[in-house]
Amino acid sequence: MLGGIGMPELLVILVIILIIFGAGKLPDIGAGLGKGIRNFKKATHEISEEAAESARKVEKVERLEEKSKPAD
């Protein structure tokens, strides 16, 4: 269960990472992780912007279609 991860568990994970990769590689790993998170946020932001733009275009077309309908 992920909800049960506390400070002691995080410290154990950090010690294991230090043993596996060594202290010299931690900055590189952190930089790579930060870059990955930044790219993910950028991609999700771009997708949401594209979706919003598409919704605006659809609304505009719908309004134009309503205006061009003949009155009954």
Question: With helix as H, strand as E and coil as C, how does the chain read?
Answer: CHHHCCHHHHHHHHHHHHHHHCCCCHHHHHHHHHHHHHHHHHHHHHHHHHHHHHHHHHHHHHHHHHHHCCCC
pLDDT in tens, 39-66: 999 999 999 999 999 999 999 999 998 8
Q: According to the model, what pLDDT value does residue 5 have?
A: 82
Q: What is the pLDDT of residues 1-41, one digit of tens each?
A: 456 788 999 899 889 988 998 888 888 988 999 999 999 99
For residue 2, what pLDDT is reported?
Answer: 54
pLDDT at 1: 47
